[in-house]
A = this chain, B = another copy of it.
């Protein structure tokens, strides 16, 4: 179970065995039931979370009461509300498991010690922040400029591993289109 995290680390940077032991020993392993809430909107995000297996989503509720999905986090990815975590402010977003999942969690204090003590983790962390920013920017551009058809096409192209694991209403909530529109697009694709 922890092996996946070790493999992830070794794939992404050069960590010594001692560093990996340190990271693993300060993590808390947490199993999550399907639909279990990891972070409630309005609470402070007090942990860095790494998804060992399963699938989580970060979501917000709009003024109309509908959910919009900011991010899907599947195995071997990180999941947190960065703003709430860093500024200790109430989170605008919630985090919940879409599937039965397992995660590793670190408190902010523990993770900051790790970042100070392990240069490779610090670099990896900086690199992930940059990559996330770039993809957020691409996503914002697509959300602003693309047609619903293009949005769905980009999504299927970039997330083939997620398609069969997500209910339609979640894909729609991620793309910012209605289920009706999404159903129409998928129907048209099938008959093309």
Binding site for B on A (CB under 8 A): 60, 62-64, 66, 68-70, 82-83, 86-87, 92-93, 129-130, 132-134, 136-141, 143-147, 150, 176
Instruction: Given A92-B138, A137-B136, A150-B63, answer yes or no on A68-B144 (Cβ-Cβ < 8 Å).
Output: yes
Q: Cβ of A176: which chain B residues have Cβ within 8 Å of it?
A: 143-145
Q: Given the complex of chains A and B, what is the CA–CA distance between A132 and B132 in angstroms?
A: 12
Shortest CB-to-CB span from A83 to chain B, Å, is 4
Q: How far is the CB of A181 from chain B (nearest CB, A)?
A: 14
27 interchain pairs (CB within 8 A)?
A: A62-B141, A62-B145, A63-B145, A63-B146, A63-B147, A64-B147, A66-B145, A68-B141, A70-B137, A70-B140, A70-B144, A82-B130, A82-B133, A82-B134, A83-B134, A87-B134, A92-B138, A92-B141, A93-B141, A129-B129, A132-B133, A133-B136, A136-B137, A136-B140, A139-B140, A143-B143, A143-B144
Q: What residue in chain B is nearest A174 (Cβ atoms)?
A: B144
A129–B64 alpha-carbon span in the complex (Å): 31
Number of identical protomers: 2
**Contact call A140/B141, Cβ cutoff below 8 A:** no
Measured CB to CB, the nearest residue on chain B to A134 is B83
- By a CB distance below 8 angstroms, the chain B residues around A137 are 70, 82-83, 136
| Chain B residues, CB < 8 A from A141 | 60, 62, 68, 70, 92-93
The 4 closest A-B pairs by CB, nearest first: A62-B145, A144-B176, A68-B145, A68-B144
Interface centre among A83, A140, A146 (most CB of B within 10 A): A140
